Amino acid sequence: MASIRANCRKIVCIGRNYAYVRPNPEYIGNLAEKASRDHITELNNARPKQPFFFLKPPSSILPPGQGPILRPRGTRLHYEVELGLVIGKIVRDLDPEDHEGALNVIHSYILAIDMTARNVQDEAKRKGLPWSIAKGFDTFLPISLPISKSRIPDPHDVDLSLSVGGELRQADSTGLMLFRIPRQLADISRVMTLEPGDIVLTGTPKGVGEVKERDIMKATIAVRGEELEEGTIQIE
Amino acid sequence: MASIRANCRKIVCIGRNYAYVRPNPEYIGNLAEKASRDHITELNNARPKQPFFFLKPPSSILPPGQGPILRPRGTRLHYEVELGLVIGKIVRDLDPEDHEGALNVIHSYILAIDMTARNVQDEAKRKGLPWSIAKGFDTFLPISLPISKSRIPDPHDVDLSLSVGGELRQADSTGLMLFRIPRQLADISRVMTLEPGDIVLTGTPKGVGEVKERDIMKATIAVRGEELEEGTIQIE
Ligand SMILES: [Mg+2]
Ligand SMILES: [Mg+2]
Ligand SMILES: [Mg+2]
């Protein structure tokens, strides 16, 4: 919706919030890959001790029907399907145990794809540089129509999915979040005040990967097995 | 001003845009320090090949008279005085050679102090994590009143200064920028569209350092030796 974009002043994205860690590309094709991947998953090696987060600019929002996603020259684009919270109240220093308070500050939900120029991000990580460029290009945040709160009785019990060219790549429950929404909002709001219209992206489940030119992505959100029609993204 | 904060949807900050590089703290007290520092300065070792930038959230803006700056527990706060541009038009893919076009999209100027939780940033850099927390706390962007465009005939020829407790720490001309404003706006707008009300911080000269509790900072901007009254920040 134009209004989600127009009302948004910041987008705060939680990093690494599901147990799975992408296998190191060095292991791909290597006999040790499977073992290593399970090992990382098992040990939760990269599981952060506390949620960390980064910003995407409101200018990166791509409302429904306004694609395609732009492919800046020399970038490798990765998808990350995420449940998004549209904030309805001013939030400061929320108590991480205040589950009801956390739900109260949510105005509505969206489905979103946190697009990332992965090669740009990998280079930034290596150099200790900010992620803002890798995450902040125009069109790098395709979103669904707004999903009214009544449609999602429990945001920790919905199923997210993302397919590329008809092939399912991500499909997991938000029940697998490492840090749940009250903790996320508590940690963010201890640093920066959340304001009405701000968007929080709650992290992405396993299966993150590349999307190539002309690939069609489709993302869905389902409650008790039923897809929410307004919570669909279909985009090139 | 309330309106600068109210109209702002993103704050884009240029990193390392003046020749000087902070000496490595490991060298302090070491005989090799002076030589090393000169060496780094001379070689411009850390001079980036292109401008890089990061985002601060609009919620970090601290309008005049609304201090003090909050000191989150466990943080070491550093000041960085910067010339800020308030954008007046939609900017996409600006030509880096288009000096006049760049000046045309500037609505007005501000003086700003890009506050940084340096220990948080140093840890983020080491771990390849985003800078958003270190840069994004509430009150981490004290600003002056707006400075109308007519007051600054040439933004590459003003003198910035910052003192802490009456002691001068930063004092340099914006003429020392490595990447000038047209190049900055070109590089930013190739990634993310700039919109009216957005703020661009153009980098900080040498002399960055720590500000402790109860220290009073004063920042000024001067044109041909004359301080602009509206372009003053005084804050604890
Ligand atoms: Mg993400
Ligand atoms: Mg922002
Ligand atoms: Mg700075």
Domain A2-154+175-210 in CATH 3.90.850.10: yes
> Which residues of chain B have a Cβ shorter than 8 Å from any chain A Cβ?
8-10, 12, 15, 52-55, 57-60, 72, 92, 124-126, 128-133, 136-138, 190-195
Give B20's pLDDT tier (boundaries 50, 70, 90): low
DSSP three-state, residue A172: strand
Model confidence pLDDT, tens digit, residues B50-83: 889 999 999 999 999 999 999 999 999 999 999 9
Distance between CA B187 and CA B98 in Å, rounded? 12
- Other beta carbons within 10 Å of A57: 29
Q: Which residue of B has its CA nearest to A136?
A: B192
Output DSSP code: residue B124: H
Residue B49: per-residue pLDDT: 81
Residue A19: per-residue pLDDT: 75
Give A199 Cα–ligand 1 centroid separation in angstroms: 13
Considering the domain delimited by B2-154+175-206, tell me its CATH architecture. Answer: Alpha-Beta Complex (3.90)
More confident residue, A162 or B48: A162
Residue B227: per-residue pLDDT: 98
Model confidence pLDDT, tens digit, residues B124-143: 999 999 999 999 999 999 99
Residue recorded with tokens 């749940």? A180
Give A40's pLDDT tier (boundaries 50, 70, 90): very low
Distance between CA B162 and CA B227 in Å, rounded? 12
- Other beta carbons within 10 Å of B146: 18
Distance between CA A96 and CA A176 in Å, rounded? 18
- Distance (Å) from the C-alpha of residue B222 to the closest C-alpha of chain A? 31
Element (H, E) at B189: helix B181-191
Q: Is the pLDDT of residue A231 over 50?
A: yes
Query: In what side-by-side order are the strands of the sheet with B77-79?
Result: B116-117, B77-79, B209-210
Residue B91: per-residue pLDDT: 97
Cβ proximity of B113 and B170 under 8 Å: no
| Pure H helices in chain A | 2-7, 33-43, 99-104, 118-127, 132-136, 181-191
Domain ranges of chain B: 2-154+175-206
DSSP three-state, residue A232: coil
8 Å CB contact of B138 and A60: no
ipTM of the complex model: 0.89
- Distance (Å) from the C-alpha of residue A77 to the closest C-alpha of chain B? 14
A217-223 and A226-227 strand pairing? antiparallel
Residue A44: per-residue pLDDT: 47
Residue A71: per-residue pLDDT: 95
